[in-house]
Structure 1
Amino acid sequence: MVTVSAFKDGFTALRANPILLVAGLLIGAGSQLQYVDHLIESPLLSAGVSLTWLIVFPFVLGGFLGIAQDAIDGTDASLTRFFAAARTHYHRLLLATVVFVLLVFGTAIGLGFIGFILGVGSMALAAVNEMAAFAAGVVSLLIWLVSILVVIMFVQFYDTAIVIEDESVADSFWRSVGLVRSNLKSVAGFSLVWLLLMNAFFLPEYLLWVTMAEPGPADVLPIDLGIPIAVLLPIGIAISAVGFAYFYTVYTAYYLRLIAVSPAVPE
């Protein structure tokens, strides 16, 4: 029920506050920088642009979460509020984002090492039973993937904890873990629905990537779309702007409903 209400809250807030689309446009434009190497011939410049976006993204995200909260609460969501929230929370969000990435990659590498050891065992098993070895490999891969997703699920609310509850970097992760532990069924359901719907919405953007990727689209799709990159990029930006604005407003709405039934842990 909380999940359904959050999606409704997101739609209502977005419809009443078009400023969210403006903020979403910043995120949408930044998300398309992954394709900049198709427009420029310098790999170094392309890498520099992508790195710049990674540094800027926490600023934009902090501002967006700030005005999304205002829009959901029914107060005035404005660009002034956007930049105020972005400046206030930027440094903590930047550091927390680095910690989040290291945590996820560290988990992936650590579990990958364990999987490598199990893979060696599977190779030995293959000498006895190839089907059993294949099944063991598939199970190991699934465990690796699910474990990473579980880690992401437990720490995913670090950004909203910083912006909405003004938590420190360390406390934001503990707050996220505590909320998920207390509402595991609800969070798992929301995360699954949110992820599936967002990926479905961004399917056209995925087709954009396929169209621009090497090898050419004719090798991947049954037909060559024949759309120039200069046209595809604005389409991708528009799709990303609407998608990020809506789904991150829903994400904020869900967090607000979550903390309403899960008060902060007393210090």
Structure 2
Amino acid sequence: MAVLKALRQTPSALQRNPILFAPVFVILLFQIPQLVLQAINPLVASVVSMVISLVFIFIMPFFQAGIVGMADEALDGQTSLESFVREGKSNYVSILVVSLVLVAVNFALGFVAFFVAIFGGFAAYSDTGGVGIGVLVIIGLIVALVVLAYLLVLFFVQFYSQAIVIDDLGAVGGLKHSVSVVRHHLVSTLGYSVLVGILGGIAGGVFAIGSLLTSPQSPSTLPLPQVSLAGAVGVSLLVLVFGALFGGFFGVYSVAFYRTINPGATDGT
């Protein structure tokens, strides 16, 4: 099974190439100021978070391409940061284009869901102040369909970066190839997505706990221990290390799985 085969290949590739954790570590370093600032000034932390999110839109394609390239090499033997830079440069534009398209799709679907909920909410109340149950059901169905459409888009195009880097395709070709590969391996990809979703949920929980520990606590919030500035730095570093380990594992595992289900990849079957 592709999911298990890729899972077996990942640890040995990481053991041979611990350098794979370095790019992920650098990405997560950007999160340290935000976590530390939460313990000092949550408002400033929110502004910094917004700025970092905008910057990430333009720098993540480079890291994404570089990590995929390194992981592809690591599964066959050795890799290096030179490969990271080379693949990042050569595939940056293609992955950036797809990333911007996905951001636009995300925004458009979110925009539709938001206004359907808002205007539908007003329409749900009749002149007598009663709630139209039928209208609420229709609103719920529309929002659910929008969410489902978004998840389906992500499901089918999730391997675009692997297709662009490993199969040397452009932005459009990468999207098409990802859809084709997933379409021919629906069950395996569903299993992979469920496993990644579970692992991602665990990682997200760790980050959430770290964020809560570094945020000022009020009497109405959860009874979490207060941490000093030094404690916030320590918690942030622990989250950073965990995130680097998870990110490195996921980077290699996603490539290993793609190579297993993709007939054109180096290790395809």
Q: When the two structures are superposed, what TM-score results if normalisation uses the length of structure 2?
A: 0.81
Partner in structure 2 of residue 151 of structure 1: 153
Counterpart of 2:58 (choices 40, 55, 58) is: 55
Partner in structure 2 of residue 249 of structure 1: 252
Letter of the 1:86 partner, please give it.
G
Q: Distance in 1 between matches of 2:183 and 2:84?
A: 31
Q: Distance in 2 between matches of 1:245 and 1:259?
A: 21
Q: Deviations over 1:133-162 (max 9, x none)?
A: 665555444333222211111222111111
SS for the counterpart of 2:30 is helix
Counterpart of 2:78 (choices 76, 91, 97) is: 76
Partner in structure 2 of residue 226 of structure 1: 227
- In structure 2, the gaps of 5 or more residues are none
CA contact (8 A) 1:210 1:217 kept: no
Counterpart of 1:110 (choices 95, 112, 119) is: 112
Count of residue pairs the alignment pairs up: 261
The 3 A distance-change label for structure 1 pair 35 and 55 is: farther
Q: Distance in 2 between matches of 1:195 and 1:43?
A: 26
Letter of the 1:20 partner, please give it.
L
Percent pairwise identity: 22
The 3 A distance-change label for structure 1 pair 33 and 173 is: farther
The 3 A distance-change label for structure 1 pair 190 and 36 is: same
Question: Alignment RMSD, CA only?
Answer: 3.2
Partner in structure 2 of residue 7 of structure 1: 7
Q: Distance in 2 between matches of 1:211 and 1:202?
A: 14
CA contact (8 A) 2:213 2:226 kept: yes
CA drift at 1:168:
0.7
Q: Distance in 1 between matches of 2:52 and 2:116?
A: 35
Q: Deviations over 1:7-40 (max 9, x none)?
A: 2222221122111112221232235565475368
CA drift at 1:67:
0.6
CA contact (8 A) 2:32 2:236 kept: yes
Partner in structure 2 of residue 235 of structure 1: 238
Q: When the two structures are superposed, what TM-score results if normalisation uses the length of structure 1?
A: 0.82
The 3 A distance-change label for structure 1 pair 8 and 221 is: farther
Matched, 1:25 2:64: no
- In structure 1, the gaps of 5 or more residues are none
CA drift at 1:245:
0.5
The 3 A distance-change label for structure 1 pair 43 and 121 is: closer
The 3 A distance-change label for structure 1 pair 34 and 171 is: farther
Letter of the 1:177 partner, please give it.
V
Q: Deviations over 1:174-216 (max 9, x none)?
A: 11222222222222221122111122134221101222346x2
Q: Distance in 2 between matches of 1:6 and 1:121?
A: 50
Q: Which moved more, 1:108-117 or 1:220-229?
A: 108-117
Q: Deviations over 1:33-75 (max 9, x none)?
A: 6547536859776654443333222111111111101111x23
